[in-house]
Structure 1
């Protein structure tokens, strides 16, 4: 019994060391701990895996070691973030590419019911939006607010060049320009209300209605 308790305590210490090494980006220590058989999915009290912690800090090399060792890129924490979803939302291009090439679930959603594409569009991460579109994420997915990626790029964007380019990318990828919000307000109406003339032109050319 004592031996079992001691082993469990030692295991807990090593798991904590793995999470800390991942968070700090110490790829060498991460590899050493994994070689010792430490649980690659060992979670903290917030349900965060070593990979998610590495992703939070954009620790690319540590994330690479973990992913190539088999870490689950779709493992969600208590607030429904996963390494894939977080990398997409934050525009962490290199980690995102790693998750996409290692089994990212393109249909997985965050706590708002949105795919990785929706917050990427909202935050103006042009290359991330392009990458997710090319990967095959549904451009017309509707989250719990009844907003698509297109709607969020308009309503929550700043109307600048990045968000205009994102609107263009989404439209070219087949985004439905007439999916309205829960109040029946269309993307075109939202663009006009905000004076986003460049977005308005793109939407009109794609058959948008007010």
Structure 2
């Protein structure tokens, strides 16, 4: 008996312990088909790794089940393996055979795999990305950590690939889980040339991540002085424009009230189209601005958009639709400040000018427009969940929340109603003692011109008759 075993225990290697408390797990059993498949996959991966194009073609044509888009045990497709190992010739062959560049494994796509390679030369990775783009691979997409192909290319210093992606209008402001955009990745990996390229394409320098850090603060944290100098240079350029450029900027921003309330002087309701780009910017969806502007959509239609409306408009990326839906929801559910709905009533103890009155009146007009859209949005969403809250108890926190929100909305409506009445009284007094503003004076119509001529003729005739009568009266007086 072996010396190391305790007394009373056997030395035989059995499937159970001496007291029968547990059994060893059975050895895994794989059928012959599985073993053969595994051998084929290993052979395929070796061929891809070594760049044996002919071997890869042969394996895919003869041995690999499900063809070129088959997922191996790793979950990756042959195309993903070829992209990751930077085998550009194999990538082209697979794509020509019908490989889908948008198949993914654990949110990893072929484009991400290619941009993750840090050892291959730049030309090879550039060629691979060009092949994938030709086959309509998705570029504005993130993995489970939110990292996009652009971010991965930046982290590996692929300047040519970054330029290629930017030429395809990728979204510069997509964020990963830590709130980083592309510019943060370029700063973190100390890529000054890429930073210049990103800034040239409109990357924002004043964004903050989830830790409330800007790209400049991140550069200072890493003590990257050259990056700090680049960012400061561009921030200073944005803050202090040259005199000529500043004049051009100011002139380009000078607008009349017609631009803010188009159609109002003709008795039409304003559509506030100019507000849509601002909202898209706030939702981090400014890339979609030309799409909305060209559609001719008004603000109310924009605020009431649903999933199918976005698809019909041409917003193909699901994450963009999701971001837009969330942005619209945040817009409708955000509370209003007291000064916004109370207007001059909140300033009743202060002095205010006629400009303040007109500004408040215009603000309330826009608020009522938005409020109407918000009520429609709320009613639509309430109808969708009506069956879900039907059986809620009377003291349900959900119902109490609904009641509180409805009460707050009613308070805002009453505040606007009261303020509108006050403004109406004030403007009635002003209009009695003041002429209309110059930009409200309309061009005379043909009827107005004809009436003015008739008035002038009547006045001239009346004056002539008065002069004649006065002359006759004076002559008669002199004769007497």
TM-score by length of 2: 0.38
Looking at structure 2, the residues matched to 123 and 157 of structure 1 have their Cα atoms a distance apart, in angstroms, of 8
The residue correspondences of 1:45-194 to structure 2 (distance < 5 A) are 45-78=73-106, 80-90=107-117, 92-154=125-187, 156-158=188-190, 163-193=191-221, 194=223
The answer for the alignment partner of 2:55 in structure 1 is 29
Q: CA deviation at 1:167?
A: 1.0
The partner residue of 1:204 within 210, 224, 236 is: 236
Shift in alpha-carbon separation, 1:43–1:191, aligned structure 2, 3 A = same
Distance 1:123 1:15, change over 3 A: closer
**How far apart in 1 are the matches of 2:83 and 2:37?**
23
Alpha carbon RMSD of aligned pairs, Å?
2.5
The secondary structure found in structure 1 opposite 2:68 is coil
Instruction: Sort the Cα spacing of 1:145 and 1:70 in 2 relative to 1 into closer, same or farther, 3 A.
Output: same
Render the CA deviation track for 1:1-35: whole Å, top value 9, x for unaligned.
Answer: xxxx8878766654554343223221112223333
What TM-score, normalized to structure 1? 0.81
Unaligned runs of 5+ in 1: none
Change (3 A) 1:48 1:182: same
Q: What is the aligned partner in structure 1 of residue 468 from structure 2? A: none
Alignment check: 8 A CA contact 1:171 1:206 kept:
no
Query: Larger Cα Rg: Structure 1 or Structure 2?
Result: 2
Cα separation, 2, equivalents of 1:164 and 1:8: 50
Aligned residues: 198
Dislocated runs of 4+, deviation >6 Å: 5-9
What is the SS of the residue equivalent to 1:35?
helix
CA distance in 2 between partners of 1:26 and 1:56 (Å) = 15
Partners of 2:175 and 2:40 in 1: CA distance: 41
Question: By how many angstroms is 1:94 displaced?
Answer: 1.5
Q: Which residue in 1 is equivalent to 2:46?
A: 20
Pair 1:143–1:204, CA change in 2 (3 A): farther
For the residues of structure 2 that align with 1:13 and 1:41, how far apart are their CA atoms?
18
Residues 140 and 148, structure 1, Cα contact 8 Å, conserved in 2: yes
8 Å Cα contact 1:191-1:197 kept in structure 2: no
Deviation for aligned residue 1:44: 2.5
Does the residue aligned with 2:175 lie in a helix, a strand or coil?
A: coil
Would you say the 8 A contact 2:205–2:231 is kept in 1? no
Contact 1:145/1:182, CA 8 A, preserved across alignment: yes
Structure 2: gaps spanning 5 or more residues: 1-30, 240-480
In structure 1, C-alpha distance between the alignment counterparts of 2:35 and 2:147, rounded to whole Å:
39
Offset at residue 173 of structure 1 (A): 1.0
SS in 1 for 2:236: helix
Contact 2:112-2:152 at 8 Å conserved across structures: no
CA distance in 1, matches of 2:84, 2:196: 29
Q: Which has the higher contact order (CA 8 A, sep 6+)?
A: 1
